[in-house]
Each structure stands twice: as structure tokens, then as C-alpha cells.
Structure 1
């Protein structure tokens, strides 16, 4: 069972998932995580599995490995042991065993086979024969400060499902509007929590978010998180519902390989400076984390 509107434990499980993602390099214990969720240790793992559809242990291990695969390609000069430790493995041996069990090859082989050029070629092959042409309005490097957000999260397949995105935006807008949280300074985002193409469709996660400038009493499946500060490459595009992937394609295959920056391991996301539609198109900014 995936996270959904009807589940009464969404808020607590979201909070645990956010904590795990922000502390992958730490030793994570059931006692610690159950306290964050405000469950007893006895019930916590069962509730986590019931809500997410995967065990707590599998979730933590999967996120660690998927982030590691992303980092292997994002910075090809970074030592593998450094990557392994940064995502919470206690030794290179334990990382090597887990990595090979999941992907069938060593991390060093994965890095060689799936280098940036091959990754781009793979992306291009996926769109072979399709018109992926699009021109950005502007591309710039921005330094973003940490930003507090409220969000609603979805787990499962979402690619190309414009009705799903509209429903999630409306739900968050309605919740925020009832509490008079929306202002001219409010910013709207979609954060993608998964790295690269290694995550199964059923485990994909996204959060539709709105910035807030004060502490919020959350309820139901509305939760809070902090958008990471740092440098981002930001491409501005006017898109209709079928053109979002073209904007992402442009940023990763046309812009990123030529700028001299490296991908960072923070999440990529979309920012909507104008939430309202302009005809059949909408202004969207694609944020790519860089260092």
C-alpha cells in the first residue's frame, strides 16, 4: 500500500522518510526513527511497511544505493569509499557487497559502463524519433537559501500524468488557502526524491510544495520540509503539459555537459514563478543542483 490521502499515518511516515534522506550518512536505528514517528518500536516497522509498501530496512538500503549510483556518475573523480561512507555504509566491503547484489556488477564497473556520455546517449535513445526540441527563455546559475516548505507527497508512477499533478497542486492550495498562508511571496515547487533511472516506477516519489515564512501546525498528509541551500543551474521554459520532459532533457543533455560544474547530490526540482496558466502554457524553472 502506497502513501495516499486516506492513510492516517501519512504525516508521521513522511517525517521519517525526510529524516532518513537528510541523515543517510548517520547510523539510523529503529528506536530513533520510531520516536520521530511517535510510534512504539513494536508497531513502527509494521506501520512503515503498511504505509509505504516496503520494509524500513529495504527503504533505507534502497535509498542509500540509489543515491550512491547517482553520485558515482555525478562526480567520477570522487573515491568510491568516500561515496559509500557518505550514504551510510560502514565500510567499502559492505557497500561493495550490497551494490553488487542489487546491480549485478561492482561500483567501479557501473561507473565505467554508465559514464556521463553513456548516460546522455541512453537518454537520447529513449527519445529516439521524437521531437525533443525546445528553447529556454533563460538559463542562469543561482544561489538558493534554505527555504521552509509545506508539501503533499505522492508515491508511485507519475510520468506524464498531468491530472495527478493538478490534483496535488489543488489539494495543497486548498489546504493553504483555508489557513490564509498564501501570499504574493509564496513559491510553488515540485521536488523529485529519486536519483537517476534506478528507482522502480512503483517507488517513485514526488512532493508538491509551497514556501512558508513561519511555523505551521500541519495536519493530515500535509507535512513540512526544508529546501536545501546551494548552487543550482536554473533553466526557464514556457511549456504545455507535454513539454516538461523536453525542458528536463534540454537541461541534462544540452546545458549540463558544457558548463564546467558537477552534479550535486541534492534533489532536482521544478519551480513555478507563476502558478496560473498563460493560455495552454506555463512558466516553469528547472533547478539542477551543482557544485
Structure 2
């Protein structure tokens, strides 16, 4: 099964890099070094979805993210970049996953940061429901001011070793896999080792059991090739909103919500890159379960 997981990770990475192109079973299975016949069954076994459903969902989610976060993009540009051939196909697929048209979704999304919750309706359809995480925005900003120091700054290029997690529940095992790999190379434990989580999906549009989170370790030199489940990843140098604080795991959602709210109120826009967390301490070593974390949002 481990060998299968390695190949499926390659296939998923191929899908994400080519969402705006034709993704045939032959192309994707080839990226994972499988025959199409075997690939389809193994992909479903590991991800819980057929390849067709996975690609359709990811395209709809990419479109939803752009609709919510990239107000300057036209719907035409969004559906092209999300892999849809025309507006009709985008509209049909979007309604299937969110129960609302793309234009309706964009109008319903409030200016301040809200998370999108997928709820089962009485008819059994998935509806997009916008619910405010904390009802009073002022309370959220006060919480942020007490718990986070926010700055806008430039971060250098970072070379990472990464293990993909499909779903929040699998993040901790992914870090375990990464640490075992690092121990074998005498990279862990050592002074000043930095661990990161890189979010390749947004919780606003992707269910928690399907979101892709990469468990990562900062390296001095780039990893040249994939080694088992561990593959190279690079965070490009650029401008970021950085919120730093000593928080518990239960505080993470409030940290992200408040940072995106701060971003909107200060008229910054998200860059086409992935947000991430940098862990400076281990919550298991703190009597109150706290850890020092940098929450980083890429911006223009």
C-alpha cells in the first residue's frame, strides 16, 4: 500500500498542476506510473473518490476560491483557469457542489472573512452557507490584537521536504512519516529545525476530510527528488502578512480568520500561492499546550 500511496501523491500533484488542461485517465495514470485499468481502482481506494469526481470537485473548489478571494478576476477568467471549457459547464458543476450559481456565490460572499460551511439540506443536496465565525467582528479584532503580532514583510525562498495529508485527521501521521525520514538522514532532532504546514486547499471551499495539507520540514539545501512519501516543495520568496503568537491548537482557526479579516480591512489581496504555518516550538513541551507560530498569507 505504501508504494501505491507514493504513486497517488505523484498523480494528485500532477492534477493540481494541470487543472486548467484536459485531464484524461491515461495522462493522470501515467503521471503515477500506473496502467489506466489499475490506477482507477487504486485511486478510489486511497482517496475515497473516483478520479472523475476528484477532478470535478477540485475544479469547482478552485473556482470557488477565486470567486471569494480574487474579486478583480472576471468569471470568464475564473472558469478558464479552473479548467472549464465554457460558462455553462462551470455553472452546472458549481451548482452541483455548492447549490448556488458562481455569480450568486460571489454576491453572497461578504467582504469580511467568513468561512463557508457545507451543510446537508432536507433534499440531500449540498448548500453553500456563509456563517460568520465570530458574530462581532470587533471582538475578533480585539482577540487578534491581544494574541497576535502582525507585520507585512518579505520572506526568502524556502526549500522543504513535504508529506501530503489528505484530510485534517491525517496531518499528524504525515508529520510522523516526515520525522522518521529525517531521522534516517540525521536531520532530526537538531537545533533550530523548523516544521511547517502548507495549505494547498482552503477550508472555505473544501471539506476538512478532503483538504490537502503538506507536513513540511525546512531544509538547508533543496531535496532533489521524491523519496518514498517525502517529496520536494518550494515556497517562493515574496511579500507576506505574518501573524505571530503563542497559541494553542484550538486557537488556530481564530488566528487564520482574524488575519484574513485584517488583510481585507487593510486592502491587501491574496497572491496566487499557498498560506502556511511555521512552528517555532512544540505544543507537547508546553504545560498549557501552547506553541509559538507564524501564520503566513502570501499577498501582492
Task: Give the one of 73, 76, 79 matched to 2:71.
Answer: 76
**In 1, distance between residues paired with 2:14 and 2:136?**
36
Contiguous gaps of at least 5 residues in structure 1: 1-5, 159-163
Separation in 2 of the partners of 1:56 and 1:95? 18
TM-score, structure 1 as length reference: 0.83
Does residue 259 in structure 1 map to residue 266 in structure 2? Answer: yes
- Alignment partner, residue 287 of structure 1: 296
| 1:105-144 alignment runs, 5 A limit | 105-117=100-112, 119=114, 122-125=131-134, 133-134=143-144, 135-144=146-155
Q: Secondary structure of 2:34's partner?
A: coil
The correspondence for 1:15, drawn from 3, 7, 10, is: 10
Instruction: Give distance in 2, aligned partners of 1:185 and 1:81.
Output: 46
Contact map agreement 1:49 1:56 (CA 8 A) in 2: yes
Q: Return the TM-score normalized by structure 2.
A: 0.80
Separation in 1 of the partners of 2:44 and 2:20? 22
Q: Higher relative contact order by CA 8 Å / sep ≥ 6: 1 or 2?
A: 1
Counterpart in the other structure of 2:251: 243
Maintained 8 Å contact 1:151/1:172: yes
Provide the secondary structure at the position in 2 that maps to 1:203. coil
SS for the counterpart of 2:250 is: coil
Quick one: which of 182, 206, 209 aligns to 1:176? 182
SS of aligned partner of 1:8: helix
1:57-206 equivalent positions in 2, closer than 5 A: 57-117=52-112, 119=114, 122-125=131-134, 133-134=143-144, 135-158=146-169, 167-182=173-188, 186-206=193-213
What is the count of residue pairs matched by the alignment?
Answer: 279
Assess if the C-alpha contact under 8 Å between 1:186 and 1:210 holds in 2.
yes
RMSD: 2.9
Aligned twin of 1:232: 240
